[in-house]
Amino acid sequence: MENIAVTVADNLIGKDLLQEIIAAVINEIDYSDELKLKIINALSLVREDAGQINLGIDFYRDVF
């Protein structure tokens, strides 16, 4: 959940996707494949040339 909070703060995960993630954490044992793909798609927006602090792909790796 910590990594999810960071991605929300970085505006990589929107309100709708966050709602799906929280529902999955509460109701399911693991994320569904569809939700995993949505998270991967959101994380693909991470740009290495961004002016903000870039923690790298490894920082977000254990999100799913």
Per-domain boundaries in the chain: 2-63
CA distance 17 to 42: 9
Could you read off the pLDDT of 12-64 as tens digits, one per residue? 888 999 999 999 989 988 888 999 999 888 888 766 655 555 566 666 666 55
pTM of the model: 0.64
- What's the confidence (pLDDT) of residue 42? 85
Whether residue 7 contacts residue 13, with contact meaning beta carbons closer than 8 Å, is answered with yes
SS3 content of the chain, % helix, strand, coil (to 5): 60, 0, 40
